[in-house]
């Protein structure tokens, strides 16, 4: 009988209100993957082509391709260069990641290559949620 009472008290003590863990008690750093690792994963392969393919492993940008363009019997040698995104402000970064098209800009007549590349809008649209964009931005800002 004493054993049954001791066992009952132990069970009641184990399941008492003081031992209930709420969501607020959990430390966010105990998640399965860190924000840095999540950002790196998304940077390397967000939805198909990774950011690193164009912006480089260090996010400093790189030349993607040189090409010839002929317009009005004139030949232009153009270079498509992905920009440095290492030091971009968050608002600009976030806006560009999910934009479907570039804003309308005016170009001078001699800016054939600039206009052509800008109008092509080669940046893929990834349809990311804000948490994903924040994670990639965090990774870029804290690259090791």
Rounded Cα distance, 39 and 51, in Å: 11
The helix (H) or strand (E) run that includes residue 82 is strand 74-82
Q: In the predicted model, is pLDDT for residue 57 greater than 80?
A: yes
Q: What is the pLDDT of residues 84-105, one digit of tens each?
A: 999 999 999 998 888 877 778 8
* Average pLDDT of span 29-41: 84
Provide the whole-model pTM: 0.70
């Amino acid at each position: 009988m004493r054993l049954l009472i001791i066992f009952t008290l132990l069970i009641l003590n184990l399941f008492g209100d003081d031992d209930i863990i709420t969501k607020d008690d959990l430390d966010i750093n105990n998640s399965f993957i860190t924000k840095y690792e999540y950002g790196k994963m998304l940077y390397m392969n967000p939805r198909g082509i990774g950011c690193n393919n164009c912006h480089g492993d260090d996010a400093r940008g790189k030349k993607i391709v040189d090409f010839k363009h002929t317009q009005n019997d004139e030949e232009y040698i153009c270079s498509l260069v992905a920009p440095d995104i290492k030091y971009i402000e968050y608002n600009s970064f976030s806006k560009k990641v999910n934009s479907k098209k570039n804003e309308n800009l005016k170009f001078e007549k001699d800016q054939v290559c600039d206009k052509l590349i800008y109008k092509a809008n080669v940046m893929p649209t990834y349809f990311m949620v804000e948490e994903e964009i924040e994670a990639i931005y965090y990774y870029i800002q804290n690259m090791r």
